[in-house]
Amino acid sequence: MTRSVAGTEAFWGHGDATGLDLGGLSASEERQVMLRLRSRHFEQWATAAARVGHCTNPIRVRGASTTFDASTGQPVRSYSTDSEPLGVLHLRCGNRRADVCPSCSRLYASDMFHLIRCGVAGGKGVPGRVADNPLVFATMTAPSFGPVHTAASASGRCHPRSKSPECAHGRRTACFELHDDADPRLGQPLCWECYDYATHVVWQWWAPELWRRFTIALRRAVARHLGIKPRDLNDVATVQYAKVAEYQLRGVVHFHALIRCDGPRSRDGFEEAPAPITSQVLAELVAAAAREVHFDAPPVLDENATRNLRFGRQLDSRPVRATQRLDDPERPLRPEQVAGYLAKYATKSATTSVDGGTNPHLERIKAVAEAVAAAVTPDEGCDQVPYELMSHWVHMLGFRGHFATKSRRYSVTLGALRRARHRAKKLLAQAEETGSSLHLAALEAELMADEEDTTTLVIGHWRFAGTGWQTAGDAALARAAAVRAREYDQWKAEQRRNRPEQRS
C-alpha cells in the first residue's frame, strides 16, 4: 500500500509528504501501521525514529545521566528517559547487513568509504600528504582445488581443451560453454568427486594466517630493499593497509587490499615515505612477498600429512596513481576509484550471508567443514587455532576472519567517524538554537579530534530495555521511511549537482 500522510514533517525530516511505500505487509502489520499513524504520540515516535536514522531494529535503553563541568564540579545539564514521551531512548542497532537494517548498513557503507578514501587521499584528520606516499592495489586469491565452471577465462569459454578425457568418475574434463553471469553452474566443480574439498576448507581456515605472514614478509622485503635490518624498519618506514575479503563463486575468499608505505613511525603517523620505495617498487615487493609466504597446516580428518598452503598463482599487484583509469589494466589506478571499489567489496561482504540454499557445491563445503571440526579430539588440535572451532564458522564456509580489516595507521577509525558525526549533530543543534551559521568543513579537525570532550564529565545509569520497535508495524514504518529518506538525500544531491557552482 502507498499512503499519503499529512503533518508528518518530523518523520520525513523535510516538508514533502509523498506516500511511503509500505508494500507486502500482513493484515496485522497494516493495522499496526494505521494505529501508529493515528496515535497521539505519532510526532514523538517519528522524532525518535528520525533520531536513529529510521533504524529497523533499535536498542531501547532506560536511565538518566548528568553532565558535570570537570573544573568546577557543577552539574551542567541532566537527562532522563523519564522525560521522553515514549519512556525510552532508542539507539541504532548498528547491523551491517542491508537485509537486517537498511539504514545502519548504509551508514556503515558510507563510513567504510570515507575510512578507505582518507587513507588514499587524506581528509578527516589524515594529512593530504598521504596521497604522495607509494600505494598499491593488490588482489590475492586461493589456489585451485579443482576446475570449476567459470566465465573469467581469457577466451570467455569455460574450460576449452581439445583433448578432453573423462575423469576417473566418468565426467568430462572440458567445458566449451560461454556461461553468462546468471548461470547457476558458475563456481560449481566440473567433477565434485575430483574436487579437493578438504584442502579448500583447510585453506579457507588458515587464510587469515597466510595474510598475517604476508604482512610480515612484506615488512622484511621493504627493509631488505632499504638495506636495513627488519627490526630497524620502524625508524625508517611503516607499511599500512586496508583489506577486504570477498567470496568467489567457488566459495573461497580472496583478498583485495590497499597497501601503502609511510615514513618512520611517529606520533601522528602518515610521514613521508623513504625515496627508494616508489609505488612501482612497492608493487613488486608485494607480489614477491605474496608468492613467498606459506604455512604448513596441521592434518585434518584421519590424514596424517600436513598441507603446505600458499596463495594462488592468480595475483594482482598494481601501483595506484593520481591520473589514470581503472578500466585499463595496463595503467595504474586512480585513488578515488580504488577507494570506491574496495568500499563496495567491504559492504558487499558484510551484507551477503553465505546461504548455500540450493547450491550443492557450497553445501558440500559446509559438510566437509563440519566433518573436519567433528573429527578433532581436544588434545589433537594444534595449539594455534584448533579445528574444532570450525564448527562455529560452518555457515561462513570455514572462513573465520573479518571481512574488512586495516592496520592501525592506515586511516581514521570507524569509532572516530562515529564520534565526529555525534559532535556534528550537537554543533548543528546548537547553531540552530542560536541562529548562527556553521561551516562544518572548517570544523573538521575539531570533529575528528582523538579524545572525547574532556571539559565535561558525564555520569549516568542505563538499563537495557529491549530491542526493536514496539510492533512489526512500527518496524515496517521505520524501514519505509529509511528508503524515503534515502531517496530524498539522492534528490538533494542531484539538486546540488545541477545548481551552478556557488562558493561562499
* Nearer residue to Zn ion within complex by CB, 57 or 133: 57
The answer to whether 79 and 91 have CB atoms below 8 angstroms apart is: no
Q: If you ran DSSP here, which 8-state letter would residue 185 be given?
A: T
C-beta of 226: minimal distance to Zn ion in Å?
Answer: 47
Greatest pairwise CA separation for the chain in angstroms? 86
Question: Among residues 167 and 431, whose Cβ is nearest to Zn ion?
Answer: 167
Q: Whose CA is closest to 444, among 408, 490, 405, 412?
A: 412
Instruction: For residue 53, give the nearest of 9, 15, 112, 107 by alpha carbon.
Output: 107
125: closest CA among 476, 447, 486, 406?
A: 447
Residue with smaller CB distance to Zn ion, 381 or 468: 468
**Which residue, among 134, 92, 165, 148, has the nearest Cα to 312 in the 3D structure?**
148
Q: Which of 22, 48, 88, 104 binds Zn ion (CB under 5 A)?
A: 104
Look up residue 27 and give its three cell numbers.
493484515
Q: Is 93 in the site for Zn ion (CB under 5 A)?
A: yes
Stretch that binds Zn ion, among 93-101, 346-354, 405-413, 423-431 (CB under 5 A): 93-101
Query: DSSP 3-state helix, strand, coil percentages of the chain (rounded to 5)?
Result: 40, 15, 45
The dihedral over CA atoms of 350, 351, 354, 355, expressed in degrees to the nearest 10, equals 160
User: In whole angstroms, how close is the CB of 87 to Zn ion at the nearest point?
Assistant: 20
Residues 174-203 close enough to bind Zn ion by CB under 5 A:
175, 177, 191, 193-194
Cβ neighbours, 10 Å, residue 360: 12
Locate 106 and state its grid cell: 548504509
482 binds Zn ion (CB under 5 A): no
Nearest distance from residue 454's CB to Zn ion, in Å? 30
Residue whose C-alpha cell is 571481512: 403
Residue from 50, 151, 167, 449 touching Zn ion (CB under 5 A): that is: 167
Beta carbon of residue 192, minimum distance to Zn ion (angstroms, whole number): 8
- Only one of the segments 74-82, 163-171, 323-331, 445-453 lies at the binding site for Zn ion (rule: CB under 5 A); that segment is 163-171
Q: Check binding of 169 to Zn ion (CB under 5 A).
A: yes
Nearest distance, CB of residue 497 and Zn ion, angstroms:
29
Query: For residue 162, what are the CA distances in angstroms to 155, 159, 173, 368?
Result: 14, 10, 10, 33
Query: How many of the chain's residues bind Zn ion (CB under 5 A)?
Result: 14
- To 10 degrees, what angle do helices 102-121 and 472-498 make? 40
Residue range at the interface with Zn ion (CB under 5 A); choices 89-97, 140-148, 331-339, 355-363: 89-97
Cβ distance to Zn ion smaller for residue 171 or 392? 171
Cβ 91 to Zn ion shortest distance, Å: 9
496 binds Zn ion per the rule CB under 5 A: no
Burial class of residue 90, CB neighbours in 10 A (0-12, 13-18, 19+): buried
Binding of residue 485 to Zn ion (CB under 5 A): no
Distance CA 343, CA 403 (A): 11
Q: Does the protein bind Zn ion through residue 158 (CB under 5 A)? A: yes
With binding defined as CB under 5 A, does residue 50 bind Zn ion?
A: no
CB nearer to Zn ion: pick between 194 and 315: 194
Q: Does 98 participate in binding Zn ion (rule CB under 5 A)? A: no
| Measured CA distances, 25 to 3, 46, 55, 471, 475 (Å) | 13, 20, 18, 13, 11
Three-state SS string across 305-356, please?
Answer: CCEEECCCCCEEEEEECCCCCCCCCCCCECHHHHHHHHHHHHHHHHHCCCCC
Tell me: does residue 149 bind Zn ion (CB under 5 A).
yes
| C-beta of 129 vs 157, nearer to Zn ion | 157
Q: Which of 48, 59, 101, 373 binds Zn ion (CB under 5 A)?
A: 101
Least Å distance, CB 473 to Zn ion, is 17
- Taking CB under 5 A as the criterion, the residue among 33, 55, 249, 287 binding Zn ion is 55
Residue 146 beta carbon to Zn ion: minimum distance, rounded to whole angstroms = 8
Q: For Zn ion, which is the closer residue by CB, 191 or 438?
A: 191
Where on the chain is the footprint of Zn ion (CB under 5 A)?
Answer: 55, 92-93, 101, 104, 149, 158, 167, 169, 175, 177, 191, 193-194
